[in-house]
Amino acid sequence: MTPDESLEFSVPVDIATLPTTGRTFTIAASEEARERVAKRLDLQKVHELSATFDLKPGAGGVIQVTGEMKADVVQTCVVSLAPVPAKAADTIEVAFITEDRAARDKAKREKAKATRKDEEIEEILENHDPPDIAAGDRIDLGELAVVHLALALDPYPRAPGVVFDGKAWGVEPEEDEKAPSASPFAVLANFRAPSKKPK
């Protein structure tokens, strides 16, 4: 299928062409795609971005997607702005449904609401993590890899040996909850009654 030009890294798969036994895909972003991904995720560099996916059709138009993403990137230290090389990896487990299945599920929900069949509504809502909808009955594995790269990145990368100096930034250090508080008896021990003045 034709890649989606609006995405930084696009590898679309038409789920209608999947064999019933499923199919494995191994993808890797080109240098141009990696540059676009780096810009999108505010990274200095993406040296590698690849993933392996297993797509398997299930009952009722559900497509089970499992796989692994790995990447070699350069982030920016949040303190010194120095480059921070990093490895990122993530395990992917997600389910998709066809647009037809999504439409049928929606109609079923509406019908259940109209007839006030509480037990049917409860059955529909039983799955708290419903499958994603495969727009146009296709799954973009490139975009899926980029999304999981974003999730796997350290949100506050620091260069080795760099320590955040709160005072330099005008930030007061938080009180250490583990630090022992002053004993009320210690306070009393240091308390000295005022001396009596001679009459």
Choose among 82, 90, 78, 80: nearest CA to 157: 78
At 103 the pLDDT is: 74
Q: Are 41 and 49 in contact (CB under 8 A)?
A: no
Taking only the tens of pLDDT, the chain with its 199 residues reads 899 999 999 999 999 889 999 999 999 999 999 999 999 999 999 999 999 999 999 887 799 999 999 999 999 999 999 999 999 999 999 999 888 887 777 777 677 666 665 665 565 555 546 788 888 889 999 999 999 999 999 999 999 987 765 555 555 655 555 555 555 555 455 555 555 555 5
At 57, is the secondary structure helix, strand, or coil? strand
pLDDT at 11: 97
How much is the pLDDT for 90? Answer: 97
Distance CA 196, CA 199 (A): 9
Kindly list the distances between the CA atom of residue 72 and the CA atoms of 1, 9, 161, 182, in Å, as whole numbers in the listed order.
Answer: 27, 16, 21, 50
User: Are 29 and 56 a contacting pair, CB within 8 Å?
Assistant: no
